[in-house]
Amino acid sequence: MVGQEHVVQALTNALVQQRLHHAYLFTGTRGVGKTTVSRILAKSLNCQGVDGQGGITAEPCGVCQACKDIDSGRFVDYTELDAASNRGVDEVQSLLEQAVYKPVQGRFKVFMIDEVHMLTNTAFNAMLKTLEEPPEYLKFVLATTDPQKVPVTVLSRCLQFNLRPMAPETVFEHLTQVLAKENLPAEPMALKLLSRAARGSMRDALSLTDQAIAFGSGQLQEATVRLMLGSVDRSHVLGLIDVSGHACR
Ligand SMILES: Nc1ncnc2c1ncn2[C@@H]1O[C@H](COP(=O)(O)OP(=O)(O)O)[C@@H](O)[C@H]1O
Ligand SMILES: [Mg+2]
Ligand SMILES: [Zn+2]
């Protein structure tokens, strides 16, 4: 996870001091790390450590059964509900019915409700009570791209973190690292263009990079990335402005 230091720091402190809230709300545009941070939190709460003796940690090991199962979406105590396609009270109710059972595999159950603003009013009302006083083994993680549509009754019960759009420099550094790990050579200018085109979304940056690799038959070169993005060479544009004698904005 890169960027979002304010969120990482606050969660790290909470985990180290074991002062955990029972409901978190992560807001931010698409592809900035809401789902990612939710999974990291679930791992932090449930990590068993390399030796199987671990407790709650700010640095989940990534190799124990809990960490591996959360990463691969097979951890029975971590549930993601996509409210965009499960908006109704029935879906929420059947999730909440699970709340009465203690965790099977881990220390905590985590209910992640993505795009929570899409829930119907009845669905929101159905979850208020559990959201306010969940059993001690249950954590709620709500995520949304549109917090203004989340009722205040829900907002007031959550600790809210706003994930920021990713700066192009942050995206650039991350892409550079990811590609280095995969042994894929890339022209820095190609990555600069991709980082800017991602417009703050790391997901878009990664998928654009995938496309560019395919488009350039395995090569990440400035010229092909420019072609793919449909952008004109900057020096060319500056030249045009120069000729006409003024910049049009
Ligand atoms: N802050 C970040 N640092 C590193 N990778 C990120 C970050 N945010 C998003 N990503 C990557 O982008 C993809 C989508 O992220 P995700 O957490 O699902 O975004 P969101 O839930 O906010 O739409 C994932 O592959 C993830 O690895
Ligand atoms: Mg998501
Ligand atoms: Zn672990």
CB 114 within 8 A of CB 80: yes
Burial of 169 (0-12, 13-18, 19+ CB in 10 A): exposed
Looking up residue 176, the CATH number of its domain turns out to be 1.10.8.60
Give yes or no: residues 195 and 225 share one domain. yes
Give the domain extent around 211.
168-244
Asked if residue 44 is part of any domain, the answer here is yes
- From 162, 196, 212, the end of a domain falls on 162
Give yes or no: residues 95 and 145 share one domain. yes
Q: Which one of the ligands is nearest to 28 CA?
A: 1
Asked if residue 65 is part of any domain, the answer here is yes
> What is the per-residue pLDDT for 230?
87
Q: Closest ligand 1 atom, CA of 205?
A: 12
Residue from 203, 207, 209, 210 to probe ligand 1 pocket by mutation (most atoms less than 8 Å from CB) = 203
- From 147, 162, 177, the end of a domain falls on 162
Asked if residue 214 is part of any domain, the answer here is yes
Asked if residue 111 is part of any domain, the answer here is yes
Backbone φ/ψ region at 139: left (φ over 0), alpha (ψ -120 to 50), beta: beta
> What is the per-residue pLDDT for 235?
62
Give, for all 249 residues of the chain, the pLDDT tens digit. 999 999 999 999 999 999 999 999 999 999 999 999 999 999 999 999 999 999 999 999 999 999 999 999 999 999 999 999 999 999 999 999 999 999 999 999 999 999 999 999 999 999 999 999 999 999 999 999 999 999 999 999 999 999 999 999 999 999 999 999 999 999 999 999 999 999 999 999 999 999 999 999 999 999 999 999 986 556 666 666 666 555 554
> What is the per-residue pLDDT for 243?
60
Give yes or no: residues 134 and 202 share one domain. no
Give yes or no: residues 14 and 83 share one domain. yes
Protein residue with least CA distance to atom 17, ligand 1: 33
Neighbours of 22 (CB within 10 A): 17
Residue from 202, 208, 209 to probe ligand 1 pocket by mutation (most atoms less than 8 Å from CB) = 202
Give yes or no: residues 85 and 183 share one domain. no
Q: Which one of the ligands is nearest to 107 CA?
A: 3
Q: Which residues line ligand 1 (CB under 6 A)?
A: 1-4, 28, 30-36, 174, 202-203, 206
Total domains in the fold of the chain = 2
- From 100, 129, 162, the end of a domain falls on 162
In the reported structure, the alpha carbon of residue 30 is separated from the centroid of ligand 1 by a whole-number distance in angstroms of 8
In the reported structure, the alpha carbon of residue 28 is separated from the centroid of ligand 2 by a whole-number distance in angstroms of 10
Asked if residue 190 is part of any domain, the answer here is yes
In the reported structure, the alpha carbon of residue 249 is separated from the centroid of ligand 1 by a whole-number distance in angstroms of 33
- Give the span between the Cα atoms of 54 and 52, in whole angstroms: 6
In the reported structure, the alpha carbon of residue 150 is separated from the centroid of ligand 2 by a whole-number distance in angstroms of 16
Q: Which one of the ligands is nearest to 34 CA?
A: 1
Asked if residue 86 is part of any domain, the answer here is yes
Give yes or no: residues 64 and 157 share one domain. yes
Protein residue with least CA distance to atom 5, ligand 1: 1
Asked if residue 249 is part of any domain, the answer here is no
Give yes or no: residues 158 and 175 share one domain. no
Protein residue with least CA distance to atom 19, ligand 1: 31
DSSP secondary structure code for residue 220 in this structure:
B
Asked if residue 131 is part of any domain, the answer here is yes
Strands, E, within the chain: which ranges?
A: 23-27, 78-82, 109-114, 138-144, 159-162
> What is the per-residue pLDDT for 232?
58
> What is the per-residue pLDDT for 88?
96
Give yes or no: residues 142 and 53 share one domain. yes
Give yes or no: residues 174 and 144 share one domain. no
pLDDT in tens, 130-178: 999 999 999 999 999 999 999 999 999 999 999 999 999 999 999 999 9
Give yes or no: residues 29 and 141 share one domain. yes
**How crowded is the C-beta side of 49, counted as CA atoms within 13 Å?**
7
Q: Is the CA virtual torsion 123, 31, 105, 137 positive or negative? A: negative
Give yes or no: residues 186 and 210 share one domain. yes
- Give the span between the Cα atoms of 195 and 204, in whole angstroms: 9
Looking up residue 30, the CATH number of its domain turns out to be 3.40.50.300
Give yes or no: residues 95 and 206 share one domain. no
